[in-house]
Amino acid sequence: MSIEATPKGSMGVAMKRKEDPRFLQGKGNYVDDLSFPGMLHMAIVRSPYPHAEIVNIDGSAALKVPGVKAVITGKDLEAAGLGWLPTFHGYDKQMVLAIGKVLFQYQEVAAVFAESRAAAADGAEAVEVEYKPLPVVADPFVAKQDEVLLRPDREAKTNHIYHWEVGDKDKTAQALGAAEKVIKQRIWFPRCHPAPLEPCGCVAQFDTMGRLTFHVTSQAPHVYRTAITIVTGIPEDKIRVISPDIGGGFGNKVPVYPGYVCAIVGALKLGRPVKWIESRTENLTSTGFARDYHMDVEIGARADGTVTALRVSTTADHGAFDAAADPTKYPAGMFGVVTGSYTFPVAHAEVDAYFTNKAPGGIAYRCSFRVTEASYAIERGMDILADELGMDPVELRRKNFVRKDQFPYASALGFTYDSGDYHRTLDVALEKIGYQALLKQQAEKRAKGELMGIGFSTFTEVVGAGPSKHFDILGIKMFDSAEIRIHPTGSGIVRAGTKSQGQGHETTWAQIVAEELGLDPQNIMVEEGDTDTAPYGLGTYASRSTPVAGAAIAMAARRIRERARKIAAHLMEVGEGDVEWKDYKFQVKGVPAKSVTMKEVAFAAYTNPGQNEPGLEATQYYDPPNMTFPHGAYVAVVDVDRETGEVKVRRFLAVDDCGTVINPLIVEGQIHGGLTEGFAIAFMQEIQYDKDGNNLNTNFTDYLVPTSLESPKWETANTVTPSPHHPIGAKGVGESPNVGSPAAFVNAVIDALSPFGVRHIDMPITRDKVWRAIRDSDPAKG
C-alpha cells in the first residue's frame, strides 16, 4: 500500500507513480502511436551475409511494387555526404547504409519508402542485392591474428581498436609474484541484449519552412539534436527532437542508429513525413548489444585471505564498428571499478578491443559503462579465491571490505568512492537471509547428496557521469539541467534534460521539488524529452538521472526558495535576514505564528512582488564534483537437480544502499526489474553467433525474456549511506540489481556444485551446462 505525499514532506514517501494511470489504461503515447497526414513508411533491406562485398544493388523491382516511392542505398547517401555517422564514443564512424561491403549480418543495405508499412516491407523484399562472400571473423581471438582485415577504411590496418589500461602494471606484477596465494580464471561475460519491449523507431517530418521535427525513441534527445546537426548539417535551431513515452531503453536507445538517418533523408527527399519502426529481429540483431568481455582475472592474497593485488586483462568484442557509446576518455567505460568493494593496495586493468563480423555495440545495458562486467569479474574472483583458501566467502569479503572510516576512499584504479558502509549492509543481508541456518541446512542436504548453493555478491557501482573534467560524449560535457516554474496558484512545472523510459521521473522529480518548496507533488508537472522546451541535458542512462539531473532539480528548487524568501519578507514586512524556511514554510525567526506558505508567496510573485523581480522560476545546470557509488549485498539460494542440471532459485535477497531514497516504492520496482534482467542474463540470455557469423538469437523464441512465472520471488531491504556531495544525498539505483545480481546467481550455482570440484561456468547457466559440469567432474568428489 502506498502512502500519498503531502505538501508537508515528500522525500522518502512511497507515493504511487503519477504516470501509471496513463500507462495502465493503455493511454501512453509511443512513437508508433503517431500518425501524420501523408506519412510514408520505411523498411530496411539487411544483409544475410556477415562479411561480403556488395557487387550490385538493383532496386528496380522494388519500385514496381505498388505504393513504393523510393529506394536509397549507401552510394546515394555517400554522394550526399551522409554515408557515415560518428559513433558516440567519438573514435569511430559507422556506415549508415553499407558502402562497398557489409560487415555484419543484418547490416543496413538499403532503405525503401512506401505508402504503407506492408508496401515498404514488400519493396524491401524485392530489392535485389548481389553479394560476394568474404571470410568471416566471428571471434575476437581470431580477429586478433589480423589474418582477415575487416576495416580497410581505417588508417590503422588492424582489427585491434584500442588498448586501454589503468593502474600500476609493474607493482601489480610484483605483488602477484610475491603473493602467498594467486588465483587465475578466464571469465566471460557473454554478449547479451537489453531487448526493450518497445523496439527503436522514429518519425521524421519537415515543415514548410524546412524545420525538422523528429519523434524518436531516444534516451538522450538533446544529444540526438546535436548529432543530427553534425551528421546532416541541418542547423540545430531547425531541429526539434521529441522523445515521447518510451517502452524501456536500458542503454539500447542511447546510440543514433542508421535507420534514423535514413528516415530523415527520406522525409527530406520525398517531402513527406517518414515513420520507421524496427522489428523485434532488427532490434536484437542490429542495435546496441551489451558485454562480450573475455576477462582474465588474477587475484593475489596472503594465506589469511587479505588481498594484495588484482590484475584483469580483457579481450573485448566490439563487433563491426566501435559503437560502444562510452565517454570519450573512457573507451572501456568505468571498468576501473573492478577492484569492487575491496581494499586492493595495487591493481592493474587493461582492455584490448577488436572488430569482428558481429553487430556493433557494447552499450551500457542497465549499467554505468562496463560496470556490470567489472562487478561480475571481481565478485566471481573473490568466490574462487575463497574456495581455494578454504574460507567462507562471506568472511573473505568482510576481511577485505573498505571500512566505513576509510571514505572517501581512493581506489587503486583511480576512483574516489564517496561513501559506504559495506559491513553494515552485509550484516543486514546475513540476518535477513538467515545465513547460519542456511549453512546448517546445506550441510544436511549435502550429507544426503542434495545440491544446494548460497551465493553472495557484495558489489560497489560507480554511477552518475559525470564530472565534466572527465566525462563527455561527442565532446559534450556530461552535466545535466533543470528548469522549474512555479505558477501563481502554487502548482508548477519542472523540465529536465533527462528522459524517463519507465524510471518514474514524473513522480520522483515532482517529489524533489515538492520537498524543497513545500508544495503538493500532485501539482508539479514533469516534462522531459522535448528539445524545444527542456533545458539541454545528456539524458537518462548510466544511473545518472538522480545523481545529476536530480541534483540540478533540487538546486533549482533552492534557487526558487531564495527568490521566494525575498517575496516572503516583503509579504511579512520584515527584513530578508529575519525570514527562515522551517516546517515547509517561511516564518519570521522566533515568531512561528507569523508565516507564509510557498503557495501564498507564489501568488504574490505574480500579484504583489513588491520591489522584487516578478515571477517564480529558476534554471540550474549541474556539474557533479564526483560520481556516486551505490553498493549492495545480494544473496541467492539455489537448489540444483543433479540428474537434470536444472537450477531453481529458492530465494534471492537484495540489500541495496543507494543513499537517500526519494520514493521507496519506485526504488523497489527498479530493483525488481533489474533483478529479473540479471536472472535472465545469468540463466537464459545470450546473443550467440555461429562460426560463420550467423546470429542465432534473433527473436523471443531464441532470446528468452522471463515472465513472472519464471522469475523468483524477490526479497529486498536497504541501508542508507547518503552521498556527501549530492544536494539530497541520493546515489541512483536503477542499475544496481542488474550489476550486482549475475554474480550472486552464478556464485550460488558454483557453490551448489562445489562437491564436484566445479570451479566456474560461464553464463548463461543453462541446465545442459550444469549437467555437463557434473558429468565431467572429478568422480572422486561427486
Partner 1 sequence: MNLQYSGEEIIAADKAAVWKAITDPEWVGRCIPEVVDVTVRDPTHFDAVAKVGVGPVRGNFKFRFELVPGASGDRMDMKISGGGFGSAVDLTAGADVSDAGGGQTKLSWSGQAVARGPVAAVGGRVLDAQAQKLISQTFANVRERLSRR
**Residues in touch with partner 1 (CB under 8 A):** 45-46, 48-50, 105-106, 125, 131, 133, 281, 690, 692-699, 702
Please identify which of the residues 192, 202, 367, 658 carries the catalytic annotation: 367
- Using the 8-state DSSP alphabet, how is residue 401 labeled? B
CA pair distance 466, 468, nearest whole angstrom: 6
Smallest Cα–Cα separation from 216: which of 251, 257, 271, 266? 257
In this structure, what C-alpha cell is assigned to residue 233?
Answer: 548539417
Nearest to partner 1 of 501, 695 (CB atom): 695
The nearest distance, CB 49 to partner 1, in angstroms, is: 6
Distance in Å from the first CA to the final CA of the chain: 48
Nearest to partner 1 of 276, 407 (CB atom): 276
The burial of 353, by beta-carbon neighbours within 10 Å (0-12 exposed, 13-18 middle, 19 or more buried), is given as buried
- Using the 8-state DSSP alphabet, how is residue 399 labeled? H
Catalytic status, residue 219:
yes
The nearest distance, CB 232 to partner 1, in angstroms, is: 28
Nearest to partner 1 of 43, 553 (CB atom): 43
Cα→Cα distances 114→106, 119, 199, 624, Å: 21, 6, 21, 47
Nearest to partner 1 of 131, 756 (CB atom): 131
Catalytic status, residue 367:
yes
Q: Which residues contact 747 (CB under 8 A, 6 or more apart)?
A: 379, 380, 383, 393, 453, 455, 456, 457, 636
Alpha helices in 34-134 (DSSP H): 60-63, 74-79, 117-126
The nearest distance, CB 513 to partner 1, in angstroms, is: 48
In this structure, what C-alpha cell is assigned to residue 146?
Answer: 589480423
The nearest distance, CB 94 to partner 1, in angstroms, is: 20
Torsion region of 732: left, alpha or beta (phi above 0 gives left; psi -120 to 50 gives alpha): left
The label of the residue with cell 581470431 reads 142
Q: Torsion over CA of 422, 425, 426 and 429, rounded to 10 degrees?
A: -170
DSSP string for residues in 562-618: HHHHHHHHHHHTS-GGGEEEETTEEEETTEEEEEE-HHHHHHHHHH--TTSPSS-EE
The nearest distance, CB 285 to partner 1, in angstroms, is: 9
Nearest to partner 1 of 178, 696 (CB atom): 696
Please identify which of the residues 373, 461, 677, 735 carries the catalytic annotation: 735
Nearest to partner 1 of 129, 227 (CB atom): 129
The nearest distance, CB 65 to partner 1, in angstroms, is: 14
The nearest distance, CB 141 to partner 1, in angstroms, is: 21
Strand partners for 637: 454, 651
Dihedral sign for Cα 672, 675, 680, 686, please: positive
CA pair distance 70, 271, nearest whole angstrom: 12
The nearest distance, CB 130 to partner 1, in angstroms, is: 10
Nearest to partner 1 of 281, 723 (CB atom): 281
User: Are the C-beta atoms of residues 250 and 365 closer than 8 Å to each other?
Assistant: yes
In this structure, what C-alpha cell is assigned to residue 684?
Answer: 537464459
Alpha helices in 168-273 (DSSP H): 169-178, 221-232, 258-270
Please identify which of the residues 94, 107, 205, 219 carries the catalytic annotation: 219
Nearest to partner 1 of 280, 398 (CB atom): 280
The nearest distance, CB 190 to partner 1, in angstroms, is: 17
Nearest to partner 1 of 125, 168 (CB atom): 125
CA pair distance 679, 684, nearest whole angstrom: 8
Please identify which of the residues 240, 272, 366, 561 carries the catalytic annotation: 366
CA pair distance 485, 494, nearest whole angstrom: 7
Q: Which positions are annotated as active-site residues?
A: 219, 366-367, 735
